[in-house]
Structure formats: structure tokens, C-alpha cells
């Protein structure tokens, strides 16, 4: 008899969703749907608000990546008002956004993803969580909690508030960095860089080899990729050009201001969330796993696929090793975990680079601003993908129109496809157990939605 | 015996949950004292059974139920009601749960206006339907928790400071009394106030406030409202600075926007602020617009769609 399996809520992810798996009379998977439940309407309710206030409103889109919304929004407002922050203002913004990447990846690996690998995909749910990990491996758990806290408190000290920041202001940054703070942060960051590198070493020794079969099979399909690169083609998180790569490795580059010419969003009946696709490929949109159309992925695996290299030495060495093993572009979905930790090493290396430049302590941090009519697109690479804020303002500097493409949403289509692939691979003759259903969720967790 | 705790996030961003994680090592201590029976951000307990074959949302019994986020759709409502049924004490964590939070800015619009904009942006393909298959229906507005279920403890903040989350959890576990004072942000703000009446017009926050050297202590900076910047300190509940006490916006030399909600649970930040401005002799016409004064507390029917 046909039946429906309803995995709800999807857990150990940042957002709200559920999975519906339809089984036919023979117990085979006939269809899968990933429902995205949330619709809040930021695009509408920022209308009429003073543009300079919006970076303190849209940061509430996400409590894990508020710094990225905050910075993309500040960049968009700057462009509406035609203002360019002074170099120290730019650097402080970039430092804050880079630090947010750095701590976020530790959070995802240790708190959200590790339980599947450390406790095992089919361990009982009561222990397959960070609390179980902490009991099984108290030393590592304590260290992870301490290190992530140290990284997070750098953000708190820098901007006053680590969750839902107000540190970015139109035209620059809220306050100058003191040299004593710079030196204090540098000392901490050197410890954090080592921990980040140790985390990657731990994963390469204890996680990826043990689960190689799973990595090679779970949630796998071929797609294109989207990410940001600097003018030398290196990985960039704060500013650069967008690079949209096809599955065969060919790519186009474009200015973030032109995103509308390249990206579209499809509306599907079973999800509030719209599903971005590559409109510029002119092939339409389809999540058919055997014949996908317009499907690309974003987030860390995409970024390290589209970039030619990484400008910092330790992350570049890791990228070399990764490419040698998996090629470019690497397609295996669970490699997101590996890519995320490479990017974490880069984030700490780059944060140190930014602080080693004493210009970051310059007291000229905010340009003079006058409200005016304009349009601006602000874009950063958020941990979960390319984040786009696009605003228009009236003569008084009030928002008249907003369009947002949020990082996670780029992967909504791919997540649907990975779930479909995983369900068909794992469910035979209608037989399911908790381990199988959790493995299907692991295909989602790799994307860190 | 460890206290059983269930946690849920409804129309929420996860910032409150991250605030719990930001307890740092204190989190490990808390985890020794509580047994989480349901917490989607960290644990895989499922609504419809672990094999996904149940018909109704089920959450295990718990001593304490913590809920972040407002109530925006039919599933949020069902989850909130189940939490109320299963938990002895319900804690509203964060300003979305206590007052609607930022997402309650949507209450200025009809659902149709929101959906029309979201599904018609310049990147969105035209569709002749609205999604409805297997997803919860939107309620007519964004509701604070206590508009739909009884709430026992309010812990506002966007996000709540980890120090307060810790005190709140410790109090619920019976380790210390719960003491959240009805003070305003101004009551805990060390900036210098010289008196009313000197500023007549507000200016928008388009340039930094005046202060001395970059390392000048906050207690030598003039009150931001007295510098002519809109600062919601007078009508906002204190606590954002945690044990450090100094409000977190002010320490970054940025004016308060009201993220802890009103000083008293049933206060009105818009009316309060207009009164505060008027009593200071500041022209309320110099505000660029008014709804932003309720940006954190638009539930409880304070923000409603404009009459057509």
C-alpha cells in the first residue's frame, strides 16, 4: 500500500523545513518534496523605512549569519547614497564579516554535523547530538566550545554585539579599532588558526576516511556552481565578481550589480521558498535528477570550485590536496564538510592578514552621507552562499523597493535533488528505520542550510 | 534529577538559540543540569515519530518549555499549543516571542501584499499559483506568544544577552531567583545627560555622534538623544549589556533601536517614545517615519495594515 513518510522538522539545521517521501504500492520511492516553511516578507516591510536603518532590520533574517546580511545591506545602502567608506571602514567591515565566517564553520562542524560522524548515523537520537558528543569526547567538546566562544567574543568586542550587529553604518563602521584591541585580537587569532587547522586534520584523519563510501554515494548529482572571486580569480568572501560555473567547469564572470541578468527564481507549489536557477544558461529550470536544468550550487564547495586558488598559504595547500583527490569542480555533496573546513582555515588566515595591516586602526572610518534617490546592490559571500541585497531609494533616502536573494536559497533546488537521490538509494521495499531517515537528512546537513 | 527541557523555534531566525550556544563553557554546565527532550536545532526528536508515520505533532512532557519566535502560521500555532500542553512552565525567549520582534513589521501589511511582492520580484518567474502543497497556512498576522498561549516567564532581547539567558536558565532550574528589573536602557546607560530642551530637531543616523579620542570612556560621551539622534533607550527594557551592564549599542557609539521591547511587558514603545520626545521639547515631526519605533514590538495589534 502506498504511504507517506513525513520527516519533520528537519533537525540540526538553521532553518525550518520538512521532508515528504511518497512510497508506491511496491514500497519504492515515487516522489520526494522538501518543504520550506518560512515566509516573513522582509522584501515588503523594509519599504518606507529610512535606508540607513535597514542594515539593523535585515540582520534579523538569520541569527547565525546576521553579519553577512548586515554587511550586504550596508553595501547596498552605500551604493544607493553614492558613498564609499574610507579604507579603514571597509577593512573593519571585511574583518567582521570574515570573523563571522570563521566562527560559523566551527559551530556547524562541531554542534550540527559532527554528531552524525562521531556518534554514527544510526546512533539513537538521544545521543546523536552535541550533548552526546560532549559526553563521548569531553576534551574535544570543551576545546571546541572554548575556541568558538573566543572567536565570537572578538566580534562582540569589536562591534558591541555579536548576534544582530549594528557595527556597520552607512558610509563605514561604528567606531575605530584601538591598536591595543588589534594586538589582542591577533594573539587570539593565532591560537584560533591552529585550532581550525587541527579541526581539518582531525576530520581528514577520523571522519572522511571512515565515511568514504557515504561521501561517494549520498546525495550525489552533478550541478553548476556560483561563488565570488577577486580580480586574480582567488577565493573572495567580502567583495569581488560573481563566477557562475557549469558542471563541465566552464564559467562566466559578472559584476554583482548585474545579477538579475544571470539568476532567476522559480516558484514551486510545495515550498514558500523560491528556488534560484541560472537563467543565463537559457535552458529553463528543472530539478529532474537525470536531466537537471539551470541547477547550480552555492556555499563553500561552490566557492572552492569556482576559484582558481586561495591567496593564503595554508588554505591553498589544503585546496591543492583536495583538488588532487576530487578534481575541479568536485561534485560529491558530502565534500561540503571538507570544503567548509578549508574555508575556515582561509577565514582565520585572512582575518590575521587584515589585522596585520595597521591601517585598520585609522580613525577615519566613516564617510559623510547624504540621503538621496538611487539604486544599490550589495553582495557578500555568506557561509551558506552568495547573498544579494538590492534596494532602491527615493529622494529622501527611504526604501522604495527591495529584492533579496539569501545564501541558503541557492541550494534549495540542489537539496531537493540530494534528498530525492538519497531516498531512492536508501529506501527499498518500503523498509525504513531511524538510521535510514537520518542518512537522508545528512544529505541536507552537508549543505548547512 | 535533571530538569526536562523542551525547546522550539517558531517564526524565528535562530539568534536566540545561538545566544544559548554563546554561553560558552557555561553551556556545558547547563547541559549537566538539564535533559533536553526536544530541541530541533541540536537534537533529532521528530514531531511525527522517529519513522515519520504519526498523524499529529507530538512533543514529550517537560518541566520547562522554551519558545523563541512569534506565531505566524498554522504549524507554529499547533507547535505552541502542544508545547503548552506538555510543559509545566513556558518561557518566551527573545523579543519575537515576547512582542513579535522584527518579523511583526509585516503586521503593517495584509498577507496578500507581502505574498504579491515576494512572488513578483525582478528575479522571480511569474507563476499562476501560490505555494500551498504541504506547507502551513499563514495566520492573518504575526502574533506574540501570549496572544495565543499562556506564558509564564518573559526573557526578551534580540538576541537576549547570553548572561541573561544563563540567569534565566539558572532561575528555572531553581538555582537562583529570577530577577529581571523593569529598568530602561537609559537607567543603565553611563553617558552624560545635561538636561532637556536643548535639541529641537532629530537628525538621522548618517554621521557618528560626537565624542573625544577613540578610546574615550563611554561615560564621557554625551547622551545620544541629547545629541539629536533618535535613541530608544528611554522606552526600552534594560539588560542588553548583560553582566557588563553598558548597553551594547551605546558601547559601539550607536543609538538604541529598542530590541528588548518595552520596559513593561504591556508597554507601547511608539507612544512612549513620542511622549519622551515631546517632553524633551523635540519636534516629533523631525522623525523620518513612525512605524520603526515599533520595529521590535508590533504584535499585540500595535501595528496593523493601513486603511485603504
* DSSP 8-class letter at A254: E
Is B190 a member of any domain? yes
Helical ranges in B22-161 per DSSP H: 25-33, 74-86, 95-99, 111-118
Residue A39 exposure: Cα atoms within 13 Å on the Cβ side:
31
- Confidence band for B198, pLDDT divided at 50, 70 and 90: confident
Question: What's the average model confidence in pLDDT over A302-331?
Answer: 98
CB contact under 8 A, B252 and A126: no
Closest CA–CA distance from residue A64 to any residue of chain B (Å): 6
CB contact under 8 A, A131 and B43: yes
Same domain, B206 and B300: yes
Convert the pLDDT of each residue in B258-295 to its tens digit.
999 999 999 999 999 999 999 889 999 999 999 999 99
pLDDT at B308: 56
Select from B118, B138, B172 the last residue of a domain.
Answer: B172
Closest residue to A265, CB basis, from B113, B124, B204 = B124
Closest CA–CA distance from residue A159 to any residue of chain B (Å): 6
Closest CA–CA distance from residue B199 to any residue of chain A (Å): 21
By CB atoms closer than 10 A (0-12, 13-18, 19+), residue A388 is: buried
- Collapsing DSSP to helix, strand or coil, A382 comes out as strand
Instruction: List all residues 6 or more positions away from B145 whose beta carbon is below 8 Å from its beta carbon.
Output: B67, B70, B71, B80, B90, B92, B97, B98, B151
Same domain, B242 and B133: no
CB contacts under 8 A, A 260-319 vs B, are 260, 263-272, 274, 276, 279, 285
CB contacts under 8 A, B 155-184 vs A, are 158-159
Task: Provide the mean pLDDT of chain A.
Answer: 97
CB contact under 8 A, B134 and A20: yes
Question: What's the average model confidence in pLDDT over A366-372?
Answer: 97
Whole-prediction pTM value?
0.98
Select from B150, B172, B194 the last residue of a domain.
Answer: B172
Instruction: List all residues 6 or more positions away from A413 whose beta carbon is below 8 Å from its beta carbon.
Output: A266, A275, A276, A277, A285, A287, A295
- Whether the CB of B205 is below 8 Å from some CB of chain A: the reply is yes
Question: What's the average model confidence in pLDDT over B169-195?
Answer: 84
Instruction: List all residues 6 or more positions away from A299 whose beta carbon is below 8 Å from its beta carbon.
Output: A336, A383, A384, A385, A407, A410, A411, A447, A448
Is B120 a member of any domain? yes
CB contacts under 8 A, B 268-287 vs A, are none
Is B177 a member of any domain? no
Q: Which of B5, B134, B209 would you mutate first to test chain A, the one with the most A CBs within 10 A?
A: B134
Closest CA–CA distance from residue A303 to any residue of chain B (Å): 22
What is the residue-wise DSSP string for B126-147? P-SS---TTSPPEEEEEE-GGG
Closest residue to A62, CB basis, from B14, B133, B292 = B14
pLDDT at A418: 98
Is B52 a member of any domain? yes
Same domain, B101 and B162: yes
pLDDT at B170: 84
Q: How far is CA A145 from the centre of its chain?
A: 21
Same domain, B137 and B237: no
CB contacts under 8 A, A 139-198 vs B, are 141-142, 145-146, 148-149, 152, 159-164, 166-167, 169-171, 174-176, 178
Counting every residue written for chain B, the total comes to 308
- Confidence band for B179, pLDDT divided at 50, 70 and 90: low
CB contacts under 8 A, B 222-251 vs A, are 240, 248-251
Is B276 a member of any domain? yes
Q: Strand pairing of B87-93 and B153-155?
A: parallel
- C-beta neighbour count of A126 within 10 angstroms: 14
pLDDT at B28: 87
Same domain, B167 and B203: no
Closest residue to A160, CB basis, from B21, B44, B251 = B251
Contacts of A142 in chain B (CB under 8 A): 25, 28
- The β-bridge partners of B222 are B192
Same domain, B41 and B151: yes
> Taken in order A229, A234, A235, A238, is the CA torsion positive or negative?
negative
Burial B185-204 (b: 16+ CB within 10 A, else e): bbebbbbeeeeeeebeebeb
> Does position A338 have pLDDT exceeding 60, yes or no?
yes
Counting every residue written for chain A, the total comes to 449
Closest CA–CA distance from residue A205 to any residue of chain B (Å): 25
- Whether the CB of B53 is below 8 Å from some CB of chain A: the reply is yes
Is B284 a member of any domain? yes
Q: Strand pairing of B34-38 and A374-382?
A: unpaired
Same domain, B39 and B150: yes
Question: Which residue of chain B has the CA closest to A106?
Answer: B21
CB contact under 8 A, B14 and A7: no
Select from B142, B172, B202 the last residue of a domain.
Answer: B172
Residue A235 exposure: Cα atoms within 13 Å on the Cβ side:
28
Question: Which residue's C-alpha cell is 540530494?
Answer: A418
Convert the pLDDT of each residue in B45-91 to its tens digit.
999 999 999 999 999 999 999 999 999 999 999 999 999 999 999 99
Question: What's the average model confidence in pLDDT over A260-286?
Answer: 98
Same domain, B108 and B255: no
Same domain, B114 and B153: yes
Same domain, B27 and B76: yes
Same domain, B211 and B151: no
> Does position A246 have pLDDT exceeding 70, yes or no?
yes
Question: Percentage of chain A with pLDDT > 70?
Answer: 100
CB contact under 8 A, B51 and A368: no
Instruction: State the Cα–Cα distance between residues A438 and B86, nearest whole angstrom.
Output: 25
For residue A68, what is its C-alpha cell? 553577512
Residue B104 exposure: Cα atoms within 13 Å on the Cβ side:
31
For residue A349, what is its C-alpha cell? 588566515
Question: Which residue's C-alpha cell is 538590492?
Answer: A390
> Does position A423 have pLDDT exceeding 70, yes or no?
yes
- Whether the CB of B22 is below 8 Å from some CB of chain A: the reply is yes
Question: Which residue of chain B has the CA closest to A44?
Answer: B114
* Domain hosting residue B274, numbered range: 182-308
> Does position B1 have pLDDT exceeding 70, yes or no?
no
Question: What's the average model confidence in pLDDT over B12-25?
Answer: 94
Question: What's the average model confidence in pLDDT over A106-122?
Answer: 94
- Confidence band for B31, pLDDT divided at 50, 70 and 90: confident
Question: What's the average model confidence in pLDDT over A91-111?
Answer: 96
CB contact under 8 A, B240 and A161: yes
Total domain count, chain B? 2
Same domain, B17 and B144: yes
Instruction: State the Cα–Cα distance between residues B205 and A55, nearest whole angstrom.
Output: 12
Comparing CA positions, the residue from A307, A448, A441 lying closest to residue A384 is A448
pLDDT at B243: 76
pLDDT at A119: 94
Contact A44, B109 (CB under 8 A): yes
Longest dimension (CA), chain B: 67
CATH classification at residue B50: 3.40.50.700
CB contacts under 8 A, A 245-264 vs B, are 259-260, 263-264
- Collapsing DSSP to helix, strand or coil, A229 comes out as strand
pLDDT at B306: 82
Contacts of B75 in chain A (CB under 8 A): 37
Convert the pLDDT of each residue in A372-393 to its tens digit.
999 999 999 999 999 999 999 9
For residue B305, what is its C-alpha cell? 495594515
Instruction: State the Cα–Cα distance between residues A419 and A436, nearest whole angstrom.
Output: 12
Contact A367, A85 (CB under 8 A): yes
- Whether the CB of B132 is below 8 Å from some CB of chain A: the reply is yes
Instruction: State the Cα–Cα distance between residues B183 and B180, nearest whole angstrom.
Output: 8
Amino acid at each position: 500500500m502506498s504511504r507517506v513518510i513525513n520527516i519533520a522538522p528537519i533537525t540540526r539545521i538553521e532553518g525550518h523545513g520538512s521532508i515528504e517521501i511518497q512510497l508506491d504500492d511496491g514500497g519504492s520511492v515515487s516522489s520526494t518534496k522538501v518543504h520550506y516553511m518560512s515566509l516573513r516578507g522582509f522584501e515588503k516591510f523594509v519599504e518606507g523605512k529610512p535606508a540607513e536603518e535597514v542594515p539593523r532590520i535585515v540582520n534579523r533574517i538569520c541569527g547565525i549569519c546576521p553579519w553577512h546580511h548586515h554587511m550586504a545591506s550596508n553595501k547596498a545602502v552605500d551604493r544607493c547614497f553614492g558613498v564609499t567608506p574610507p579604507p579603514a571602514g571597509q577593512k573593519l567591515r571585511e574583518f567582521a564579516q570574515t570573523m563571522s565566517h570563521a566562527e560559523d564553520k566551527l559551530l556547524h562542524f562541531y554542534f550540527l554535523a559532527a554528531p552524525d560522524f562521531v556518534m554514527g548515523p544510526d546512533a539513537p537520537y538521544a545521543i546523536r547530538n552535541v550533548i552526546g558528543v560532549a559526553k563521548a569526547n569531553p576534551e574535544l567538546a570543551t576545546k571546541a566550545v572554548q575556541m568558538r566562544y573566543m572567536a565570537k567574543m572578538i566580534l562582540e568586542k569589536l562591534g558591541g554585539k555579536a548576534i544582530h550587529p549594528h557595527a556597520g553604518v552607512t558610509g563605514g563602521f561604528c567606531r575605530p579599532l584601538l591598536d591595543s584591541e588589534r594586538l589582542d585580537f591577533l594573539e587570539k587569532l593565532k591560537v584560533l588558526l591552529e585550532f581550525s587547522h587541527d579541526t581539518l586534520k582531525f576530520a581528514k584523519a577520523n571522519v572522511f576516511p571512515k565515511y568514504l563510501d557515504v561521501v561517494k554515494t549520498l546525495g550525489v548529482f552533478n550541478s553548476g556552481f556560483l561563488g565570488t572571486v577577486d580580480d586574480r580569480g582567488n577565493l573572495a568572501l567580502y567583495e569581488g565578481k560573481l563566477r557562475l560555473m557549469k558542471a563541465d567547469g566552464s564559467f562566466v564572470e559578472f559584476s554583482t550589480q548585474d545579477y538579475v541578468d544571470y539568476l532567476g527564481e522559480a516558484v514551486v507549489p510545495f515550498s514558500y521558498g523560491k528556488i534560484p536557477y541560472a537563467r543565463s544558461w537559457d535552458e529553463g529550470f528543472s530539478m529532474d535528477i537525470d536531466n537537471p536544468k539551470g541547477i547550480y550550487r552555492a556555499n563553500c564547495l561552490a566557492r572552492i570550485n569556482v576559484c582558481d586558488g586561495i591567496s593564503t598559504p595554508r588554505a591553498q595547500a589544503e585546496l591543492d590536496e583536495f583538488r588532487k583527490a576530487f578534481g575541479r569542480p568536485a561534485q560529491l555533496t558530502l565534500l561540503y564538510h571538507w570544503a567548509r573546513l578549508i574555508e575556515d582555515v582561509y577565514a582565520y588566515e585572512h582575518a590575521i592578514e587584515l589585522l596585520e595591516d595597521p591601517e585598520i586602526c585609522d580613525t577615519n572610518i566613516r564617510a559623510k552621507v547624504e540621503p538621496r534617490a538611487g539604486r544599490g546592490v550589495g553582495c557578500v559571500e555568506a557561509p551558506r552562499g552568495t547573498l544579494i541585497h538590492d534596494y532602491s531609494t527615493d529622494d529622501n533616502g527611504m526604501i522604495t523597493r527591495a529584492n533579496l536573494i539569501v545564501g541558503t536559497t541557492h541550494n534549495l533546488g540542489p537539496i531537493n535533488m540530494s534528498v530525492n537521490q538519497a531516498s531512492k538509494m536508501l529506501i527499498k521495499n518500503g523498509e525504513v528505520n531511524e538510521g535510514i531517515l537520518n542518512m537522508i537528512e545528512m544529505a541536507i546537513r552537508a549543505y548547512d542550510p | 534529577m535533571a530538569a526536562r527541557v523542551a525547546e522550539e523555534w517558531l517564526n524565528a531566525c535562530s539568534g536566540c538559540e545561538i545566544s544559548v550556544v554563546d554561553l560558552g563553557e557555561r553551556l556545558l554546565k547547563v547541559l549537566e543540569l538539564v535533559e533536553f527532550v526536544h530541541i530541533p536545532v541540536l537534537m533529532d526528536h521528530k514531531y511525527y515519530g522517529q519513522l515519520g508515520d504519526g498523524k499529529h505533532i507530538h512533543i514529550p512532557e517537560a518541566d520547562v518549555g522554551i519558545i523563541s519566535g512569534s506565531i505566524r502560521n498554522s504549524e507554529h500555532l499547533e507547535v505552541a499549543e502542544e508545547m503548552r500542553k506538555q510543559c509545566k512552565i513556558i518561557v518566551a525567549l527573545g523579543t519575537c516571542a515576547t512582542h513579535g520582534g522584527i518579523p511583526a513589521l509585516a503586521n503593517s501589511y495584509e498577507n496578500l501584499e507581502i505574498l504579491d511582492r515576494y512572488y513578483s520580484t525582478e528575479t522571480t518567474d511569474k507563476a499562476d499559483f501560490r505555494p500551498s502543497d504541504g506547507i502551513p497556512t499563514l495566520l492573518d498576522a504575526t502574533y506574540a506568544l501570549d496572544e495565543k498561549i499562556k506564558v509564564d516567564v518573559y526573557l526578551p532581547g534580540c538576541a537576549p544577552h547570553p548572561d541573561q539567558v544563563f540567569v534565566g536558565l539558572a532561575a528555572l532550574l531553581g538555582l537562583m531567583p529570577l530577577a529581571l528589573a523593569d529598568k530602561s536602557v537609559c537607567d543603565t546607560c553611563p553617558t552624560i545627560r545635561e538636561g532637556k530642551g536643548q535639541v529641537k530637531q532629530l537628525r538621522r543616523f548618517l554621521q557618528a555622534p560626537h565624542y573625544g579620542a577613540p578610546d574615550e570612556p563611554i561615560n564621557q560621551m554625551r547622551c545620544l538623544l541629547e545629541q539629536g539622534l533618535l535613541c530608544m533607550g528611554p522606552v526600552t527594557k534594560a539588560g542588553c549589556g548583560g553582566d557588563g551592564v553598558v548597553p551594547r549599542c551605546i558601547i559601539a557609539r550607536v543609538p538604541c533601536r529598542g530590541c528588548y521591547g518595552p520596559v513593561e511587558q504591556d508597554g507601547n514603545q511608539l507612544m512612549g517614545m513620542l511622549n519622551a520626545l515631546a517632553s524633551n521639547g523635540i519636534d516629533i515631526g523631525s522623525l523620518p517615519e513612525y512605524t520603526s519605533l515599533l520595529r521590535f514590538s508590533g504584535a499585540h495589534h500595535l501595528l496593523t495594515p493601513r486603511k485603504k
